[in-house]
A and B are shown apart, each in its own frame.
Chain A
Amino acid sequence: MVQLPVWTAIAPTVILALTVLLLLVVDSINPDEDSGNLLAVMAVIGTVTSIAVTGWYLLAGTGQPPTDPVLLFADAIVVDGMSLFFTALVGSVVVLIVLASYDYLADHPYQAEYYSLVMLAATGMSLMASANSLATAFVSLELASLPSFALVASLKHNRGSVEAGLKYFLIGALSSAVFAFGISLVFAAGGSLGFADVAAAAADTSLPGVLGLGILFVAGGFAYKTASVPFHFWAPDAYEGAPSPISAFLSSASKAAGFVLLFRVFVEAFPQTAVAGTIDWVLAFQVLAVVTMTVGNFAAATQENVKRMLAYSSVGHAGYVLIAVAALTTDANRSFVLGSGMAHLLVYGFMNTGAFLFIALTEYWDVGRTFEDFNGLAKQAPFACAAMTVFLFSLAGLPFGGGFLSKFYLLMASVNGGVLLLAVALVVNSALSLYYYSRVVRAMWLEEPDGTLEIQGYPTGLYAAIAVAAVMTVLLLPAFGPVAEMANAAASAIV
C-alpha cells in the first residue's frame, strides 16, 4: 500500500476548501443562469467526498492510537481521532443543510454565494477541529464566523434576517476581540501559542494573574461560539432571523466546532495540573454549565415562537455539553466524561438539525411560526410531523432516539466527576424541556387546525434531509454504544 504524503492527513478540510473554489469558478463562468441544481449537487459531492475521506482515515487509524497524532505546518495543525470525529460531524450536518437548502432557496438570487459561504464556514469549522495552536484557533474561528454573518443575513430583503446578521456580527466582533485579547494575554504569560508549549510555559509562569485573565477571556471566545451564557445573546436573534437551514447549521455544526476547540484548548493548552495555581476552570465551567442550561431551558419554556424556542433550547444544550468539561475533575474517568460530550454533540447534530429543518419546511409552506400555527399539522404532513416528534422527544431525552442515551451518558459523566449539582441541573432542566417540546407535539397531533391551511407540495430535498436526520437520530439509539466508544477513544488520546 502506498504511503500517502503526510500533509494529506488534512485532506478532508482541503477538499471542503477546494469545493468552495470550484463553486466560485462555476459561478463566475455562469453567473446569471439558474444553476442552483448544479451548485447544490457539487456542494453535496464535495462534502460527501470529505466525509468519505474522513471515514477512511478514522477506520485506517490515521493519527489515532497506537500511532501519534499527525502534526502539520510547524505543529499548527493536528489530525487525530477527535479532529476526524468532528470533521465527520460537521460534514454530515452540511450535507443535510445543502439538501434542505436546495428547496428552501428555490427562488433565491444568490445561490452560488450561499453555497460557497456554507462550504467556507464548513472549512473553517473543520479547521477548528484540527487547530493545534492559538493562532490557528483564532484564524479558523474567524473563518467559520465571517461567512456565518453573511449567511444569517442572506435573505437580503427580509428585515429580520438582516437585523439578525448585524447583531450576530456585532456580538461576534466583540467576542472575537475578547478572544484575541485573551490569546495575547496567554502569549504574554508564556511566550508561545502552540498548545503544548502554552501548557509547558503555564506551569512555571511568573504572571499567573495575566495567564488567568487570558484563560478566562479565551473561554469567553468559546462561550460565544458555543452560544453559552453570558455570550449567548446573539443566538436567539440570529437563529430566529436566519434562514432555517442556516439556523440548523449554526446551532449544530458551528456549536460542535466551538466545543471541539474548547475541549482541545482547555485539555491540552491549559491542563489543570499546569494552571492549578492560577484558575480552577473546571469550577468556572460548572458555573457556566448550570447557568447556561437553566437560562436556555427556562427562557425556552415561555416562548410562543417555535423557532425561537428551538434557539433557546439550543442554548440549553450547550449547557449540557459543557458538562463534558465541567465534570472533568481529577477523580473523573476523563476520557469517558469528554467522550460523552462528544457523543452528545454528534447525536445533537442530527436531532437539532432535523428540528430546524422541520421549521424550514413549515416556512416553505408558510404555516406561521407560533405553536398555534402548528395545530393539526400532522393531519396534512404525518411523516414530517412524526420525524419532528422523534427529534423533539430525542432532544428532551426520551428513548425515541439517541438523545436518550447521550443525555444518560452526560448524567453518568456528572456522577462520575462527582459533581452532583450538574446531574441535578441536567435532570431538572430536561424535565422542564419536556414541557415545551411536548407543546409542539401536542399542537401537531392533538389540536384541531383552526384555519384552512392547505399544504403546497412536498419538497423532495427538504423531506430527504429530514428523513435522513430522523433515521440517524433513531439509529443512534441502538448504535450509540459504538459511537460512544469511538468518542471515548478519541478523547482518551488527548486527556
Chain B
Amino acid sequence: MAVFDYAPAIAVLPLAAFALALFGGRYLPKRGAIAGIAATGGSLVLSLWMLVTIALGADPHQQTLYTFVAGADGVASVDLSFGIFIDQLSALMLVIVSLISLLVHVFSLGYMNDEGETGLPRYYAGLGLFTFSMLAFVFSDNLLMSFMFFELVGLCSFLLIGFWFRDDAPSSAAKKAFLVTRFGDYFFLIGVVAVFATFGTTAFVGEESFIAMAEHAMPGSEAAVPGVVSDWLGVVGLSASQWFTVVGLLVLGGVIGKSAQFPLHTWLPDAMEGPTPVSALIHAATMVAAGVYLVARMYGFYALSPTALGIIALVGGFTALFAATMALVKQELKQVLAYSTISQYGYMMLALGGGGYVAAVFHLTTHAAFKALLFLGAGSVIIAMHHNENMWDMGGLKDRMPVTYATFLAGSLALAGVFPFAGFWSKDEVLFETLVHGLGSTGGTLLLLGYAFGLLAVVFTALYTFRMVFLTFHGDARTDTAEDPEPVRWNVKLPLAVLGVLATVVGVINLGAVKKIIGESNLFLHEWLFHGAEGLNGEHYEELLHDFAGYTAAELPGGPLAPAAVSLGLALVGVGLAYRLYGGADPDPHMLKLGSVRTTLMNNYYLDEFQVWLAMSVTAPVARVADTFDQGIVDGVVNGISSVSLLSGDRFREIQTGIVTNYAALLTLGLTLLVLVFALAGGWF
C-alpha cells in the first residue's frame, strides 16, 4: 500500500525539526517553534491518514526498514532490525501522540516564547527529539527497537525536565527521573535479553513473533511447541507459564519505572520542575504513556500468565488509590496533577491486569486528552500568576480567565469521572472489566482487591480534583496577583479549546456503560481494537485470557449500568465533599485537621526518604565493599602483576652490567647449565 510508504515520515519529521532547531534554531522564526509545529502537524496528518486507511479496511502494515545485524542462515540466528508496524493500536496511539505534541508546541509559543525564556532552540530540539522517540517507539515492530526508543524517551525527559539546568531543583529532578526510570529499565533490558534467549526473536508481529511462539509453547496449545523455546525451557528448568511470567515481570520493571507505578513513581512529582508544556507532554502522550502502551503492545504475551496479570492489576489498583491520597493535601497546582497522573495510570494498569485491554487503551486515550488539557490549563494559570503555583495564593480566577476556567472545568469533570465527560466512560469501563473478570474467574481475588482500591480512589480523585478547581478558580482572590492576573494569548487558548472539546466528547468512541441501549456494535473503540492484525487483536486476547489465564467475565444482572451508577455516585460524593469543604468564598485549609496523617501524605509516605535511605544505607555500603574488593583485590592483583613485572624487569636489567667480562662469564655459565641439564637428561656420561 502506497499510504504506508509514508509511515516512517511520521517519526522522521519531528527528527528533522529536532536537527533544525538544534543546529539552526537561532536563525529560525520563533526559535524553532514553527518548524516543530509544522513537523508535528505533518505527523498528525500522516497519522490520521494511516488511521483512516485502516478504518477503511486496509490490513495492518508491517515492514522491516533496516537490519543492522543479520544473523547467519540456519542455526539459531538472530536478526536485529528496525521496522514499523502500523495496526489499529499503533495508529490510534500515533494520532494521540502527534496531536498532543502539536498542541504542546503551540502552547509553548505562549508559555516559553512570550515569557521571554532563553535557550529556546534547545527546548524545541528537545521537544522534537522527544516526539520522534515516542512515535518511533509506538510503531516499533520488535521489542528491541521498542527498548531503544524507550531509552531515548527517557533521555529526552531528562533533557527537558532539566531544561532550567542552572537551578538546583530542575537538574536534580532530571537526574532523579533518569535514575529511577533507569532502575526499572535494567529489568526491561534483562527481559529483552531473556526474550531473545527464549525465542531467538523479539518481533511483535506474525507467526514467527515471540508473542505467537509463546502462545504455541503453552501447554494446552494446539500448535507444536517451537524447538528453540522448548530447548531454552529445558535450560532454565521452568515450565512455559512460569518462565513467561518471569520474562513478563522483567519487562514490567521498565513499565513500572516509566509509567510511574508504585514503588518507582517517586520521580514523577519531582519532574514538575520542568516547563509545564513538557509536563503535559510527558504525562499525556509520551514518557509515562510508553509503559502502559508497551504492555498493551505485547498483551498477547501477558495474557498467558495469570500471575503477571494479577500483579499488574494489584500494582495498578494500589497505585491508583495510593497516589490519590497524596494528591489530597498538595498545595501546588502541578503537584496535584502529578499525583493524579500516577493515579490514573494506575487505573490503566488495573485494566490491563484485569483483562480489560480495550478499557486500558480507552482510558489511555481519554486521559491523554484531559490530562494534557489540565496541564496546559495549569500552565495558563501559572502564566497568569507569574509562576506562583501555590493554590492558596489563587482563588477567583474563573471570572478573569473564562476560557481557561471553562476548559479546565471540563478536564476536571473528566478526571473526576462525572457523566458525560470522557473520563467517566473510560474509568467506568476499567472498573467494570476488572469487576466482571474478578467475579467470574477462579483466581479473581487479586482483581477484586484491585477493584476495591480503584473504587475507593474514585472518591479521592473527585475530591482532590475539585479541591483544586475550587481553590484555584472559585471564592475570593487571595493575593494581588490573583486579583489582576496576566492575560494569556490565543496560542494558549487554542490548544485549551481543542482539548476541552475532546475531553468532553471523546468518550463517545466507547460508551460501554450504555452498551445495552446503543448496541454492542456501536462501541467504536471496541470494534476497532477487536479487528487488528492476526493474533494481535482484542478478540484473540480474550480467547487467550480465557484459555490460559482462566479469566471469565461474570454476567451481572443489571449489565454495566449498575457498576457505572456506583462509580458515578462515588464521584459525585467526592465532588460534593469538595464543595462542602472548599466551595465557600474564603475556604479554610481543612486538610490541616488531619494532623500527622497530613504530614505523612505531604511527605509522600516518606517513600522518597526511604529510597534515599536505601541508597545511602544499603546500596552505598554494598558499593563500598564492592569498591574495596575492586580496588584492593582486583586492582591489587593487576597492579601486583605489573609491579612484579617491572621489578623483575629491573633485575633482568641489572644482569646487564655493561662489563663485558661479566657477559662472558654469564654466557659461559648459561651454556654450562644447559649442558649439565641435557647431559644428565640424555645420559651422556
> Which residues of B are found within 8 Å of A170, using beta-carbon distances?
660, 664
Asked if B682 contacts A278 (CB within 8 A), the reply is yes
Is A57's CB within 8 Å of the partner chain B? no
Residues 211-234 of chain A, each 1 if its beta carbon lies under 8 Å from chain B, else 0: 011001100100000000111011
Instruction: For B678, give its contact among A212, A277, A435 (CB under 8 Å).
Output: A212
> Which residues of B are found within 8 Å of A167, using beta-carbon distances?
660, 663
Chain B residue nearest in CB terms to A237: B658
Asked if A213 contacts B671 (CB within 8 A), the reply is no
Residues 465-477 of chain A, each 1 if its beta carbon lies under 8 Å from chain B, else 0: 0000000000000
In Å, the complex CA distance between A229 and B667 comes to 8
Within 8 A of A (CB), among B656-683: 656, 658, 660, 663-664, 666-671, 674-675, 678-679, 681-682
Pick out which of these stretches binds chain A: B108-116, B478-486, B604-612, B645-653. Answer: B645-653
Asked if A171 contacts B660 (CB within 8 A), the reply is yes
Write the nearest CB–CB distance from B171 to chain A, whole angstroms.
33
Residue pairs across A and B with CB atoms within 8 Å: the count is 82
Chain A residue nearest in CB terms to B656: A236
> Which residues of B are found within 8 Å of A243, using beta-carbon distances?
none
In Å, the complex CA distance between A280 and B667 comes to 21
Asked if A302 contacts B650 (CB within 8 A), the reply is yes
Write the nearest CB–CB distance from A446 to chain B, whole angstroms.
20
Instruction: For A234, give its contact among B663, B674, B675, B681 (CB under 8 Å).
Output: B663
> Which residues of B are found within 8 Å of A284, using beta-carbon distances?
674, 678
Within 8 A of B (CB), among A175-214: 175, 178, 208-209, 212-213
In Å, the complex CA distance between A201 and B648 comes to 44
Is B684's CB within 8 Å of the partner chain A? yes
Is A279's CB within 8 Å of the partner chain B? yes
Is A299's CB within 8 Å of the partner chain B? yes
> Which residues of B are found within 8 Å of A386, using beta-carbon distances?
none
Write the nearest CB–CB distance from A166 to chain B, whole angstroms.
7
Is A489's CB within 8 Å of the partner chain B? no
Asked if B649 contacts A166 (CB within 8 A), the reply is no
Is B685's CB within 8 Å of the partner chain A? yes
> Which residues of A are found within 8 Å of B678, using beta-carbon distances?
212, 216, 279-280, 284
> Which residues of B are found within 8 Å of A230, using beta-carbon distances?
666-667, 669-671
Is A295's CB within 8 Å of the partner chain B? yes
Chain B interface, number of residues (Cβ within 8 angstroms): 27
Is A303's CB within 8 Å of the partner chain B? yes
Write the nearest CB–CB distance from A302 to chain B, whole angstroms.
4
Asked if A301 contacts B649 (CB within 8 A), the reply is yes
Chain A residue nearest in CB terms to B652: A299
Chain A interface, number of residues (Cβ within 8 angstroms): 36
Chain A residue nearest in CB terms to B681: A280
> Which residues of B are found within 8 Å of A174, using beta-carbon distances?
664, 667-668
Is A110's CB within 8 Å of the partner chain B? no
Instruction: For A302, give its contact among B653, B660, B664, B666 (CB under 8 Å).
Output: B653
Is A298's CB within 8 Å of the partner chain B? yes
In Å, the complex CA distance between A300 and B656 comes to 12
Asked if B674 contacts A216 (CB within 8 A), the reply is yes
Chain B residue nearest in CB terms to A236: B656
In Å, the complex CA distance between A229 and B645 comes to 18
Write the nearest CB–CB distance from B677 to chain A, whole angstroms.
8
Instruction: For B679, give its contact among A209, A229, A301 (CB under 8 Å).
Output: A209
Is A432's CB within 8 Å of the partner chain B? yes
> Which residues of A are found within 8 Å of B669, using beta-carbon distances?
230
Most buried by B among A236, A302, A435: A302
> Which residues of B are found within 8 Å of A277, using beta-carbon distances?
682
Residues 180-195 of chain B, each 1 if its beta carbon lies under 8 Å from chain A, else 0: 0000000000000000
> Which residues of A are found within 8 Å of B653, using beta-carbon distances?
299, 302-303
Within 8 A of B (CB), among A287-341: 287, 295, 298-303
Most buried by A among B669, B678, B685: B678
In Å, the complex CA distance between A174 and B670 comes to 13
Asked if A233 contacts B675 (CB within 8 A), the reply is no
Instruction: For A208, give its contact among B656, B663, B664, B684 (CB under 8 Å).
Output: B684
Within 8 A of B (CB), among A323-363: none
> Which residues of A are found within 8 Å of B667, using beta-carbon distances?
171, 174-175, 230-231, 233
Chain A residue nearest in CB terms to B684: A209
Residues 157-176 of chain A, each 1 if its beta carbon lies under 8 Å from chain B, else 0: 00000000011001100110
> Which residues of A are found within 8 Å of B684, using beta-carbon distances?
208-209, 212-213, 278
Asked if B664 contacts A432 (CB within 8 A), the reply is no
Write the nearest CB–CB distance from B38 to chain A, whole angstroms.
47
Asked if B664 contacts A216 (CB within 8 A), the reply is no
Write the nearest CB–CB distance from B397 to chain A, whole angstroms.
63
In Å, the complex CA distance between A303 and B653 comes to 8
Most buried by B among A174, A230, A279, A435: A230
A–B complex contacts, Cβ < 8 Å, 8 sampled: A166-B660, A167-B663, A170-B664, A212-B684, A216-B671, A237-B656, A301-B649, A302-B653
5 interchain residue pairs of minimum CB distance:
A230-B670, A209-B684, A233-B663, A302-B649, A298-B649
- Given A171-B660, A209-B684, A302-B649, 8 more A-B residue pairs with CB atoms under 8 Å apart are A171-B663, A209-B679, A212-B684, A213-B675, A230-B667, A237-B656, A237-B658, A284-B678
